[in-house]
Chain A
Amino acid sequence: MAALLQVDNLTIRFPRAEPVRNLSFEINQGETLAIVGESGSGKSLTALALMQLLPRAAQIPNGRIAFGEQDLTKLNARGMRQLRGRDIAMIFQEPMTSLNPVMTIGRQIAEVLKVHEKLSSKAARERAIELLKLVRIPAPEKRVDDYPHQLSGGMRQRVMIAIAVACKPKLLIADEPTTALDVTIQAQVLDLLDTLRRELQMAVVLITHDLGVVAQWADKVVVMYAGRKVEQALPDDLFNDPLHPYTRGLLAASPRLKHDFHYRDGALTEIPGSIVSAVGETGCPFRPRCNQARASCGHHVPQLIVPAADRLVACPFTTSSKAVPHAAALSH
Chain B
Amino acid sequence: MPALLRIGRTLRRTLLQAIPTILGIVILNFFLLQLAPGDAADVMAGEAGSATAESMAALRSRFGLDNPVLVQLGHYLNNLAHFSLGFSPRYGMPVADLIAQRLPGTLTLMATALVIAILLGVVLGSLMATFAGRIPDRLLSIFSLLFYSIPSFWIGLMLIVFFSVKLGWLPSGGAGTIGSRLTGLPAILDKARYMVLPATSLALFYVAIYARLTRASMLEVKNQDFVRTAYAKGLTPFGVTARHILRNALIPITTMAGMHIGGMLGGAVVVETVYSWPGLGRLAFEAVMGRDFTVLLGILLLSSLLVIIANAAVDIIHAWLDPRIGAR
Give chain A's interface residues, CB within 8 Å of chain B: 51, 53, 81-86, 89-90, 92, 94, 97-103, 111-112, 115-116, 145, 147, 149-150, 160, 163
User: Are B234's CB and A100's CB within 8 A?
Assistant: no
CA distance A86 to B233 in the complex (A): 8
User: Are A53's CB and B232's CB within 8 A?
Assistant: yes
User: Are A112's CB and B248's CB within 8 A?
Assistant: no
Tell me the minimal C-beta distance from A180 to chain B in angstroms.
11
CA distance A235 to B232 in the complex (A): 29
CA distance A89 to B322 in the complex (A): 27
Secondary structure at chain B's binding surface: helix, strand, loop or mixed?
helix
A-B CB contact pairs (8 Å), 30 listed: A53-B231, A82-B234, A84-B231, A84-B232, A85-B234, A85-B235, A92-B229, A97-B224, A98-B226, A98-B228, A99-B226, A100-B226, A100-B229, A100-B230, A100-B244, A101-B323, A102-B247, A102-B248, A102-B321, A102-B322, A102-B323, A103-B244, A103-B247, A112-B233, A115-B233, A115-B235, A116-B234, A147-B324, A149-B324, A150-B327
Please indicate which of the listed interface residues B225, B229, B324 has the most CB atoms of chain A within 10 Å of its own CB.
Answer: B229
Q: Which residues from 234 to 292 on chain B have a C-beta closer than 8 Å to any C-beta of chain A?
A: 234-236, 239, 243-244, 247-248
The proximity string for B residues 155-167 relative to A, scoring 1 for CB distances below 8 Å and 0 otherwise, is 0000000000000
Tell me the minimal C-beta distance from A104 to chain B in angstroms.
8
Tell me the minimal C-beta distance from A159 to chain B in angstroms.
10
A112 to chain B: which residues have CB within 8 Å?
233-234
Tell me the minimal C-beta distance from B218 to chain A in angstroms.
14
User: Are A111's CB and B323's CB within 8 A?
Assistant: no
With A102-B322, A149-B323 in contact, do A160 and B233 touch (Cβ < 8 Å)? no
User: Are B228's CB and A100's CB within 8 A?
Assistant: no
A92 to chain B: which residues have CB within 8 Å?
225, 228-229, 232
User: Are B233's CB and A84's CB within 8 A?
Assistant: yes
User: Are A147's CB and B229's CB within 8 A?
Assistant: no
CA distance A86 to B232 in the complex (A): 10
B231 to chain A: which residues have CB within 8 Å?
53, 84
Chain B residue nearest to A52 in the complex (CB): B231
For the A-B complex, the count of residue pairs with Cβ-Cβ distances under 8 Å equals: 73
Partner of A111, one of B224, B235, B322: B235
With A101-B248, A102-B247 in contact, do A90 and B232 touch (Cβ < 8 Å)? yes
User: Are A163's CB and B226's CB within 8 A?
Assistant: no
User: Are A115's CB and B234's CB within 8 A?
Assistant: yes
* Further contacts, 7 of them, CB under 8 A, given A99-B226, A101-B248, A102-B247: A85-B232, A85-B235, A92-B232, A97-B226, A102-B323, A111-B243, A147-B323
With A111-B243, A112-B233 in contact, do A100 and B324 touch (Cβ < 8 Å)? no
Tell me the minimal C-beta distance from B235 to chain A in angstroms.
6
CA distance A53 to B231 in the complex (A): 8
Tell me the minimal C-beta distance from A47 to chain B in angstroms.
10
B324 to chain A: which residues have CB within 8 Å?
101, 147, 149
Partner of B232, one of A51, A97, A102, A116: A51
User: Are B228's CB and A53's CB within 8 A?
Assistant: yes
CA distance A111 to B128 in the complex (A): 26
Chain B residue nearest to A104 in the complex (CB): B323
The proximity string for B residues 46-61 relative to A, scoring 1 for CB distances below 8 Å and 0 otherwise, is 0000000000000000
B243 to chain A: which residues have CB within 8 Å?
103, 111
CA distance A101 to B234 in the complex (A): 19
Tell me the minimal C-beta distance from A280 to chain B in angstroms.
29
Q: Which residues from 182 to 239 on chain B have a C-beta closer than 8 Å to any C-beta of chain A?
A: 224-226, 228-236, 239
Tell me the minimal C-beta distance from A163 to chain B in angstroms.
7
User: Are B248's CB and A163's CB within 8 A?
Assistant: no
With A102-B321, A102-B323, A149-B324 in contact, do A85 and B225 touch (Cβ < 8 Å)? no
User: Are A98's CB and B229's CB within 8 A?
Assistant: yes
CA distance A81 to B247 in the complex (A): 22
User: Are B235's CB and A94's CB within 8 A?
Assistant: no
The proximity string for B residues 134-166 relative to A, scoring 1 for CB distances below 8 Å and 0 otherwise, is 000000000000000000000000000000000
Tell me the minimal C-beta distance from A320 to chain B in angstroms.
41
CA distance A83 to B231 in the complex (A): 11
Tell me the minimal C-beta distance from A170 to chain B in angstroms.
14
B232 to chain A: which residues have CB within 8 Å?
51, 53, 84-85, 89-90, 92
User: Are A163's CB and B229's CB within 8 A?
Assistant: yes
CA distance A115 to B239 in the complex (A): 10
CA distance A163 to B233 in the complex (A): 8
A163 to chain B: which residues have CB within 8 Å?
229, 233
Tell me the minimal C-beta distance from A226 to chain B in angstroms.
24
CA distance A245 to B248 in the complex (A): 48
Tell me the minimal C-beta distance from A195 to chain B in angstroms.
22
Tell me the minimal C-beta distance from A118 to chain B in angstroms.
12
With A82-B234, A111-B233, A111-B243 in contact, do A94 and B322 touch (Cβ < 8 Å)? no
Tell me the minimal C-beta distance from B251 to chain A in angstroms.
8
CA distance A112 to B244 in the complex (A): 13
